[in-house]
Amino acid sequence: MEPQPNFEFLFARYYKRLFYTALNITKNAHTAEDVVQETYLKAFLKSDSIHNEEKLGAWLSAIATRTAIDFIRKEARGLAVSLEAIVQQNELFALESDHNVEQEVALSLFKEDIEQEIKALKPEHQAIFLLKVNSGLKEEEIAKQLDLKPATVKTRLYRTRKHLKAVLSERYTA
């Protein structure tokens, strides 16, 4: 049985490297810190698979990279759910028992704002977003249809959702 690595030493030695790796991917310091903590947890749980201490830094960096990407994916899924929740919340608001003109106008303005924001997107982002939302196509299908790499489609979709969420959240949350 091989000796277990000293995790306090590993934490001190590789923290900055892992933090900047995660920060480069997530673009958010708090998320990067979460990624580093998750990385060390995963490393601790898999510490028995460390056979070559010379490659330890690369192994930890690979874990941090995959973990950061997973965080981004979860955030993107949450964004899609958040946009849907905003729309549903406003639709429910309009469907309440005492339908009044103010509620209908507010819902109508909200839908117009969404449409305007979608129309204001760059054409390449707009096309991808509409194919995903209106046509329900998967990223790979959109990539084939638009002759793009799937990674490009995913990136543009993520950025579009993030932009729409930021703009609409700013306008419609108190």
The mean per-residue pLDDT over the stretch 52-60 comes to 79
Does residue 173 carry a pLDDT above 60?
A: yes
The mean per-residue pLDDT over the stretch 12-20 comes to 88
Does residue 42 carry a pLDDT above 80?
A: yes
User: For the chain, what is the total number of helices (H) and then of strands (E)?
Assistant: 7, 0
Q: How many other CB atoms sit within 10 Å of the CB of residue 128?
A: 27
Pick the more confident residue, 57 or 86: 57
Are the C-beta atoms of residues 33 and 5 closer than 8 Å to each other? no
Does residue 47 carry a pLDDT above 50?
A: yes
The mean per-residue pLDDT over the stretch 99-125 comes to 75
Q: Which domains does the chain possess?
A: 7-72 (1.10.1740.10), 96-172 (1.10.10.10)
Confidence of residue 103 (pLDDT cuts 50, 70, 90): low
Are the C-beta atoms of residues 171 and 110 closer than 8 Å to each other? no
The mean per-residue pLDDT over the stretch 164-174 comes to 75
Does residue 120 carry a pLDDT above 80?
A: yes
| Element (DSSP H or E) covering residue 8 | helix 7-26
Confidence of residue 100 (pLDDT cuts 50, 70, 90): low
Q: Which candidate, 163, 162, 164, places its Cα nearest to that of 113?
A: 164
The mean per-residue pLDDT over the stretch 7-20 comes to 82
Find the largest Cα–Cα distance for the chain. 74
Nearest-angstrom CA–CA distance, 145 and 2: 52
